[in-house]
Structure 1
Amino acid sequence: MQDIEVSIVIPTYNRSSSLKETLESIFAQTYPVNKYEILVCDDNSSDNTEEVVKSLMEKTQHNLKYIKIKSKIKGPAKVRNAGINQSLGEIIGFTDDDCIVSGNWIETAVENFKKHKNACGVYGTVVTVGDCKNKPFTISRRVDVLSDNGSYVTPNVFYKKQVLLDVGLFDTDMRYMQDIELGWRIRKKGPIIFEPSLYVNHKIFCASIKAYLKRIKKTEYWVLMYSKHPDRMEEDNLILGHFYNRSPIYVLSIFLSFSFLLLGSELFIFLFMITIITYLWTHVFVDDNYKKYPIRLLMFPRYSFADIIRFMYSLKASIKYKCLVLF
């Protein structure tokens, strides 16, 4: 165990089948088996996750560990922190229980740390695979990282362990977005390198309408992040300093149009036209992919409904955290 150089931390919850595939991809690494360990950090699953992992522990020659965490704190932050605290490697890699990593994944990360001596972390490409065509009444959720976009998402990121300890690990206040928030803190200590050949496939998630709406609630955590890092508001060039994207402008135009309609004002017609223009600006004419314009027009009900819900969550969070950031 004293030879362990890299520790791979995987949080999991009730995904024993996909977790097994993730582990098998990590077993198939080009990096020497005796130099890395895998820590499966179970967020108190109620399925057969424990049995699946312990069965693999008996069969494999790899350094596979199982950690079961019982905590009232919600979200994977405390699970990943448990893995970090029990790890042996000087480099900590993160992926998720619905990911398949490339065969040279660990080797590529280690080589980048050797190449970039001052780097605090390395992150790479994430490509979502699969579709939801055979699952009607669901909405696909993708996790794609194709460039150096500053997301630092945990399906595919490595950090020096000492850096993680220095910045205080993952913030357990953050039920969602804790990986991005951690990256913001680490960037203040040093660079996080983007390496395109550090490659991971992420399985698509087909969410029910209920799950999709529940997921929108994570907007509140974006506001919490900006309240913790107010300097990022200027750095990210928020529209008018408080609008994260164009959607809030579209939602405000809807509210204004409806208000003037109720008041019986002739300004309603003018504001209604403005609303149409802002919808086109926000959701249709967003790139040069002309073939998608018709479908985006037809998606008007879905986009509008989601925008209004997201706006309300962000407004609520802005009041709660005393930081005006509207989504």
Structure 2
Amino acid sequence: MQMPFLSVVIPCWNEVRFIAGFLDSVLGNTYPADRMEILLADGYSDDGTREVVRRYAARDHRVFLVDNPGHSKPAGLNRAIRRARGDVIIRLDVHADYPPDYLERCVRGLLDNPGADNVGGIRLSRARDETLLGRAIAVSTTSVFGAGNSRYRTGAAEPQWVDTVFGGCYRRSVFERIGLFDEKLTRAQDREFNQRLRAAGGQILLLPDITCTYYARSDLREFCAWTFEAGYWPFQASRLVGRWIGSWRNVVPAGFVLTLAAGAALAPLPRVGRTARRLTGAVLAAYGAAALGFAAREARRRKDPALAAALPAVFLATHVIYGIGSIRAVLDRRGGKR
């Protein structure tokens, strides 16, 4: 059976550190070379990314550079999709490595499951820099305690229908039916699109035998900024599109932060202070026990004892910063113009 023509779309901006390895990974896939194209929507990078892409395009007919004025991911994705010729469109991320059969497995997942409109797999996580902090951040993004019930991060034992996947491999008819990515959203565009797809009767299938490796942020400042944005955008995006696009896992960190803030505010008061201190202490004790337990389990599983000490701090930073980002979004009435 002839495989459908596949369009690989990638938004990028200033990715010179990763772009060559990424392209080598994609071009080395087993998908038939005459049945695919690779469209990189670049936001006018000024670090050498465009020159690298042009070199690859000059020697491989599958690679195309698509200009994307500005840095908007959804705008870049939409530009690439409009130019795409494929019957199947897969969205990839530059900060990941893909095994040789990744594209083929994703497309066959669509072909073998007629009810699926979007197919994806498990996103493994690896530190960009092999420091203790980098390793702890990478592990936290795959832990149930750090990532909630996001199956493409935490893993799954068998195929299952989910609310979203990493990247995604779509039938072209999906975009013809429900439209393209919402360009109002700086982030959370994949989440919003997949929710819109499910609301229109579409289904998203997670196949655990499909995996890729994502390079998580290892720098503390980058990690904090990324976590704040991750907490901010489900709420701000919901305001911008006029409906809630998140899940319970997006609300829990904000509840945790508000509980601690309320406890701190009430603690000095004469009538309720003692009760507030006890309740806040109980919440922190329960949280600390859970964080230590999950950290010890991950350290044991990965044979990295140092993680037992570093992970609790990363878990706490993740939940507090994420929660502050969510609260800021609820209070921010500027429509995402930040």
TM-score bin, normalised by smaller chain? 0.7 to 0.9
Match of 2:266 in 1: 260
Contact 1:5 1:91 (8 Å CA) reproduced: yes
- Say which of 178, 183, 188 aligns to 1:167: 178
- Say which of 155, 173, 181 aligns to 1:146: 155
Tell me the alpha carbon deviations over residues 244-287 of structure 1, each in whole angstroms, 9 at most, x when there is no partner. 21x34433333333323444x15323211211221233453269
Contact 2:38 2:63 (8 Å CA) reproduced: yes
Q: Which one-letter code corresponds to 2:180 in the other structure? A: L
Higher relative helix content: 2
Identify if the C-alpha distance between structure 1 residues 281 and 112 changes in structure 2 by more than 3 Å, giving closer, same or farther.
same
Tell me the alpha carbon deviations over residues 129-165 of structure 1, each in whole angstroms, 9 at most, x when there is no partner. 23645387998354735235533222xx101122123
Gaps in structure 2 of 5+ consecutive residues: 143-152, 300-306
Match of 1:199 in 2: 211
Match of 1:280 in 2: 285
Contact 2:128 2:134 (8 Å CA) reproduced: no
Moved more, 224-233 or 157-166: 224-233
Match of 2:275 in 1: 270
Contact 2:136 2:311 (8 Å CA) reproduced: no
Q: Which one-letter code corresponds to 1:66 in the other structure? A: L
Deviation at 1:195, TM superposition (A): 1.3
Deviation at 1:79, TM superposition (A): 0.8
Deviation at 1:93, TM superposition (A): 0.6
Count residues with an aligned counterpart: 307
Counterpart Cα distance in 2 of 1:293 and 1:270:
35
% of aligned pairs identical?
Answer: 17
Match of 1:117 in 2: 114
Deviation at 1:177, TM superposition (A): 1.5
Identify if the C-alpha distance between structure 1 residues 38 and 221 changes in structure 2 by more than 3 Å, giving closer, same or farther.
same
Match of 1:325 in 2: none
Quick check: 1:21 aligned with 2:33? no
Counterpart Cα distance in 2 of 1:117 and 1:163:
13
Q: Which one-letter code corresponds to 2:10 in the other structure? A: I
Contact 1:93 1:158 (8 Å CA) reproduced: yes
Q: Which one-letter code corresponds to 1:268 in the other structure? A: G
Quick check: 1:63 aligned with 2:62? yes
Q: Which one-letter code corresponds to 2:203 in the other structure? A: P
Deviation at 1:318, TM superposition (A): 2.4
Quick check: 1:87 aligned with 2:84? yes
Counterpart Cα distance in 2 of 1:198 and 1:320:
39
Moved more, 143-152 or 12-21: 143-152
Secondary structure at 2:261 match in 1: helix
Q: Which one-letter code corresponds to 1:252 in the other structure? A: L
Secondary structure at 2:18 match in 1: helix
Once superposed, what is the RMSD of the aligned Cα atoms? 3.4
State the TM-score, normalized to the length of structure 1.
Answer: 0.80
Counterpart Cα distance in 1 of 2:96 and 2:222:
24
Quick check: 1:101 aligned with 2:98? yes
Match of 1:35 in 2: 35
Tell me the alpha carbon deviations over residues 67-106 of structure 1, each in whole angstroms, 9 at most, x when there is no partner. 12113xx531111111111100011011111111111112
Contact 1:257 1:271 (8 Å CA) reproduced: yes
Deviation at 1:207, TM superposition (A): 2.8
Identify if the C-alpha distance between structure 1 residues 307 and 35 changes in structure 2 by more than 3 Å, giving closer, same or farther.
closer
Q: Which one-letter code corresponds to 1:24 in the other structure? A: D
Tell me the alpha carbon deviations over residues 187-232 of structure 1, each in whole angstroms, 9 at most, x when there is no partner. 2231111111222111122133365146403422211344447476
Moved more, 253-262 or 12-21: 253-262
Q: Which one-letter code corresponds to 2:72 in the other structure? A: G
- Say which of 178, 189, 210 aligns to 1:178: 189
Identify if the C-alpha distance between structure 1 residues 224 and 168 changes in structure 2 by more than 3 Å, giving closer, same or farther.
farther
Counterpart Cα distance in 2 of 1:254 and 1:289:
21
Contact 2:119 2:206 (8 Å CA) reproduced: yes
Counterpart Cα distance in 1 of 2:271 and 2:311:
28
Gaps in structure 1 of 5+ consecutive residues: 323-327
Contact 2:4 2:88 (8 Å CA) reproduced: no
Q: Which one-letter code corresponds to 2:80 in the other structure? A: G
Contact 1:123 1:195 (8 Å CA) reproduced: yes
